[in-house]
Amino acid sequence: MKELEAEIEAYRLRYGLLREEEDGQGREPEEFLDETKPVLDLPVCSSNGEEDLEHKQDSAEEPKANNDGIIEEEREDGSRKAVLVKEITEITERLSAIESKGELLQQISEVLDVSEGEAILYQISQNLHMLRSFIEMPSES
């Protein structure tokens, strides 16, 4: 801020000096000799300010890029969740259809004892229930 105030003061002095020359004095006081140098010869006071501004602009763009990534990730998570819910629903419907016909129990009982088949069906049912509850939970990340 002090650098900007110094630069503003330098411009005021320069423009004030130009007004005095227009009035007919034509001669420059020694204290203003540095102020009448070409701008390129003067040390740049605002270079730090410009660098700070550029840094702030860069840092402002970075969170925006990060936010875009987060939004995209949320969209992907939402679509993934929708796909998983759809797949679980389809599996549940097929399992229910097979259970209602008794075909699954018959197939399982042919391979295993009846009690083991019922245990497997119960385990499948529990796993589907856990998958549903897992998908319905909000993500922690």
Half-sphere exposure of 51 (CA within 13 A, CB side): 5
Q: Let me know if 88 is exposed, middle or buried by CB neighbors in 10 A (0-12, 13-18, 19+).
A: middle
Identify the pLDDT of residue 81.
82
pLDDT tens-place string over residues 84-96: 888 888 888 887 7
- Among 97, 101, 95, 81, smallest CA distance to 123 is for 95
For 101, the 3-state DSSP assignment is: helix
Both tokens of 81, joined, read 């969740």
pLDDT value at 19 more than 60: no
> Apex CA 96: angle with CA 94 and CA 101, to 5°?
100
| CA atoms within 13 Å, Cβ hemisphere of 75 | 6
C-alpha distance across the termini of the chain, in Å? 41
The arithmetic mean of pLDDT across residues 14-25, rounded, is 56
Q: Is 102 within 8 Å of 86 (Cβ atoms)?
A: no
For residue 63, name the pLDDT band (cuts at 50, 70, 90): low
The 10 Å Cβ neighbour count of residue 104 is 19
| The pLDDT of residue 10 | 78
> Cα–Cα distance between 124 and 134 in angstroms, integer?
15
CA 132 – CA 91 distance, rounded (Å): 11
Structure confidence at residue 57 (pLDDT): 59
